[in-house]
Amino acid sequence: MKILAIETSCDETAVCILEAKGGVKKPVFKLLSNSLFSQAKLHEEFGGVYPNLARREHQKNLVPLFLKTLKKIEPNFSESKVLNIDSKKLKAKSKKLQALLEREPELLEQFEKNILYLPKPKIDKIAVTVGPGLEPALWVGISFAKALSALWDIPVVPVNHMKGHFLAPLAEGEKIEFPALGLLISGGHTELVVAKDPTSYKIVGKTVDDACGEAYDKVARILGLPYPGGPEVAKIASQARSQKLKTESSYILPRPMINTKDLNFSFSGLKTAVLYMVQKIPHLDLEIKKEIAKEFEESVKDVLVKKTEKALRTYKVKTLVVGGGVSANTYIKKHLEILAKKEKVKILVSSKSLATDNAVMIAVAGFFAKEKPISKIKAEGNLSL
């Protein structure tokens, strides 16, 4: 089975084609083609993702990325033309496409110019992210998937973005032994999830306010660091540790909700504590920024590890899966690996390329997802597991 996956939940436009063999119990995945366009530089001046700009960029980049992805497995695809076209059928399809892409005029124009006359590619299923994410951005990918389905009669499966993060290690040949605990940490989410199998999930802990990745970005802005801020905070925190800078008492930060009985998180207060701390410092030089970044990261690490430890001891799981953009943080990853070793559970952390938003994880999750009529598929910005 060849799966075409489309991911447009935020500021990454991503398309891939993944081959899946074997049954749902022992699937084997092979990545055939993968393309991604990041909008990070475009959103830098806003200090975060600007939804309507993200939507316009997805409209502009999705068709070229799609054709680029297909050409890697079918080199002559974009030059092929359908012969002996039935004009009535073509007119009917064109009318249907106009209805499906009514809210995406630029995408419709590109579709009619570059895709409408092309033959059906060797694709068995289309997987598309339906949420959570920015709804204007999600709709671009969903509308495009529906249009392809209508044109070529290929089934579409809606995919939960967070399931993609959970299942991403499968794309790299790893095996998730169920039941499994997932720690999903990104700019939009901080969740502890128990999965009985690839299709059954239960959230057992989540943030009550900011996600940890969001806190990283907000602290970066407070410290005057470039966007995207998370990696910048991690970088100078690492420098502080390598320089063995000692955190003075005035730079001690709280560990929010670390001792609560539940498995929930809170990072808004931690971000605010950094803000109040910085406001009291007359001259915020680089060395002080490093110390604050180090202490902030220690706080996030302590909370994540403590809550994950409690979850591992509460639920009898065989695997700890760490996914989402913050899982690329080497310091946090190292301490979670230490925890997994202590608790004697297998740990899987996606490679950096699969930690951030990508289409590969959507294709993997799409393999396990059920087909839906395209009329039933819609964007759900706050979609939960």
| pLDDT score of 248 more than 80 | no
Select the more confidently predicted residue: 72 or 193. Answer: 193
CA distance 322 to 28: 21
Reading the block at residue 294, the tokens are 């180090």
Identify the band that residue 92 occupies on the pLDDT scale cut at 50, 70 and 90: confident
Please give the pLDDT value at position 267: 97
CA distance 71 to 84: 23
Reading the block at residue 279, the tokens are 């406001």
Please give the pLDDT value at position 225: 94
State pTM to two decimals: 0.93
User: Mean pLDDT across the stretch 35-49?
Assistant: 77
Identify the band that residue 44 occupies on the pLDDT scale cut at 50, 70 and 90: confident
Please give the pLDDT value at position 49: 78
Please give the pLDDT value at position 245: 60
Please give the pLDDT value at position 102: 87
Domains for the chain: give ranges and CATH numbers. Answer: 2-165+357-376 (3.30.420.40), 178-317 (3.30.420.40)
- Phi, psi angle pair for 158, to nearest 5°: -80, 140
User: Mean pLDDT across the stretch 342-368?
Assistant: 95
Select the more confidently predicted residue: 51 or 332. Answer: 332
Select the more confidently predicted residue: 63 or 24. Answer: 63
Q: What is the pLDDT of residues 102-151, one digit of tens each?
A: 888 889 999 988 888 888 899 999 999 999 999 999 999 999 999 999 99
| CA distances in angstroms from 245 to 194, 241, 295, 341, listed in the order given | 38, 6, 11, 28
Reading the block at residue 317, the tokens are 């799981």
Identify the band that residue 13 occupies on the pLDDT scale cut at 50, 70 and 90: very high
